[in-house]
Structure 1
Amino acid sequence: MSYRLRLAHLYPDQMNIYGDRGNILTLTQRCAWRGIELELVPVGVGAAIDWPSIDMAFFGGGQDSGQALIADDFVRHQGPQLREAIEDNLVLLSICGGYQLLGHYFLTHTGERLPGVGAIDVHTVGGSVRLIGNIVVEAGDWPGAAGTLAPGTRLVGFENHSGRTYLGAGVRPMGRVLAGHGNNGEDGTEGAVYRNTFGCYMHGSLLPKNPQFADYLIGLALQRRYGAGATLAPLDDGLELVAQRTMVDRLVHG
């Protein structure tokens, strides 16, 4: 059976720092290697998107200036339909600024309250010190998918954020921080999971460094579109996994 998926890239011109576009390249290439047709749908300011036709979405991080340019459009223009799509199990990966905008609000260090779309139960508070460096996260128990990513899988990335994100009861963390700061540098959590939506601070870019996670997202999207029988053909990720283990050993075990 031939598969076809649609991937929405939210605000690619404004929200693309620390290699975040590499996540799009990774999803595209890993689909191509398997013969899965992946259509990329850029979502710019004012764009009209048929969200029910979208299988996966990516929302990267941006400089404060870039985030300011798109925040109002995202909240007012895309927010209502995107919330519906998330409730309908859209597969979505959001990083840093994109992660923050999916939550309820961002309270800046000057006391200004900036609204998010409220799609996931998190809020962010600005800090005076940036949390910067490589990060290792032990993944939690996530919803099932073809080629399920096993709980305890160690993911690597790079974080650079001043916002401290706190989770509400409506989400669970992506995982436990083994090295680095994570959501807020206080509670040992990184990221948030709600239905098929994942938010985190892991730049770097995330998916090339963690092919298991890339395939997990593709598998979720295939099962949502084509049913539980949709599976992914295996790929040879030997080199990628050696690089991943090397970073884990260096950061966790010293």
Structure 2
Amino acid sequence: MSGLPPEFGDGLPSAITGLAEVPADKGEVHVVHLYPREMSIYGDLGNTRCLAARLRWHGYTPIVHDHHPGGPWPERADLVLGGGGQDSGQLRVQNDLATHADRLRALAEDGVPMLMICGMYQLFGEAFITVEGARLPGLGILDVTTRGNETRMIGPVVLDTEFGPVVGYENHSGSTVLGPDQGAFGRVRHGHGNNGADGTEGARVHNVVGSYLHGPVLPANPELADGLLRIAAERATGEWAPGVVDDTVALEAHDRQVRRLLG
């Protein structure tokens, strides 16, 4: 288990930290980060730090569990995160992921919010098929299939989602196709998305979101971050009682990316 120090963000203006004041404690929210060493490239660790900070700003106590291959599973998981990684990283976590497959499927079906980025998004799908044709089975939580190819899809992205407009950065060679009844996380307004052809980005089922967006994506999208936290806090404590958070800088940067890319 790991956590961030209580003074995280102290000494910075509230417009930067998002912290207006520290309200009374409203209960614990346990965040599980899957494979932070193997699957956390392109800044995806920032998603965990963002959620821990925002929980404190909203008056909750974040308990962050780093789950490593072969390690014990935490006794409690209110929100689960996973990031991107190289193919070698996916191979290193595959056996452990299979060990906890039934547990993760049950948590997903029970409505636990999860955010899986890039490589972990692929592993939460049905399968990843390498360029050479090898088939690596996934958890099947998301009905998506990914094929590796020689062409990378790289660049800034703007999406329309149920959480509002979402911005981020994609960098993936995998081309992902949704199953016939699988809903997307968002519709692409700028960028490639799942495959550069059908206008979809990511996938969502229950409260599980899979996406290719790095950045990290949550600090750049406060509404998405708080949307996940609302679900987690309601499950963990019985209610979502948000505090006063100053997201001026984050929202200005978000809106500027939207305007720059969409005109």
Same-fold status (TM-score > 0.5): yes
Residue 246 (structure 2) pairs with residue 230 (structure 1): no
Q: Supply the AA of the counterpart residue of 1:69.
A: R
* Number of residue-to-residue matches in the alignment: 239
Q: Secondary structure, in 3 states, of the residue corresponding to 1:183?
A: coil
Taking the TM superposition and a 5 Å limit, the aligned residue runs for 1:8-19 are 8-19=32-43
Residue 58 (structure 2) pairs with residue 34 (structure 1): yes
Q: What do the CA deviations read for 1:19-46 (whole angstroms, capped 9, x no partner)?
A: 1011011001111112210101111011
Q: Supply the AA of the counterpart residue of 1:197.
A: V
Give the match for residue 86 of structure 1: 108
Give the match for residue 210 of structure 2: 199
Give the match for residue 103 of structure 1: 125
Give the match for residue 143 of structure 1: none
Residue 145 (structure 2) pairs with residue 123 (structure 1): yes
Aligned pair partner of 2:173 in 144, 159, 162: 162
Q: Supply the AA of the counterpart residue of 1:54.
A: A
By how many angstroms is 1:169 displaced? 3.6
Mean CA deviation greater in 161-170 or 3-12: 161-170
Alpha-carbon distance in structure 2 between the residues aligned to 1:206 and 1:64:
21
Question: Is contact 2:111-2:207 (8 Å) kept?
Answer: yes
Question: Aligned-pair RMSD on alpha carbons?
Answer: 1.3
Q: Supply the AA of the counterpart residue of 2:186.
A: G
Alpha-carbon distance in structure 2 between the residues aligned to 1:132 and 1:3:
40
Question: Is contact 1:59-1:95 (8 Å) kept?
Answer: yes
Q: What do the CA deviations read for 1:106-138 (whole angstroms, capped 9, x no partner)?
A: 111211111111111111111220001111111
Q: Supply the AA of the counterpart residue of 1:234.
A: V
Q: Supply the AA of the counterpart residue of 1:39.
A: I
Aligned pair partner of 1:182 in 181, 188, 193: 193
By how many angstroms is 1:170 displaced? 4.2
User: Aligned in 2, Cα 1:133/1:8: closer, same or farther, shift over 3 Å?
Assistant: same
Residue 252 (structure 2) pairs with residue 242 (structure 1): yes
Question: Is contact 2:122-2:128 (8 Å) kept?
Answer: yes
TM-score by length of structure 1 reads 0.90
Q: Supply the AA of the counterpart residue of 2:29.
A: L
Q: Secondary structure, in 3 states, of the residue corresponding to 1:73?
A: helix
Alpha-carbon distance in structure 2 between the residues aligned to 1:16 and 1:50:
19
Give the match for residue 172 of structure 1: 183
Q: Secondary structure, in 3 states, of the residue corresponding to 2:152?
A: strand
Alpha-carbon distance in structure 2 between the residues aligned to 1:179 and 1:120:
23
Alpha-carbon distance in structure 1 between the residues aligned to 2:71 and 2:141:
19
Gaps of 5+ in 2: 1-24
Alpha-carbon distance in structure 1 between the residues aligned to 2:182 and 2:110:
16
TM-score by length of structure 2 reads 0.87
Gaps of 5+ in 1: 141-148
Alpha-carbon distance in structure 1 between the residues aligned to 2:209 and 2:181:
13
By how many angstroms is 1:230 displaced? 2.6
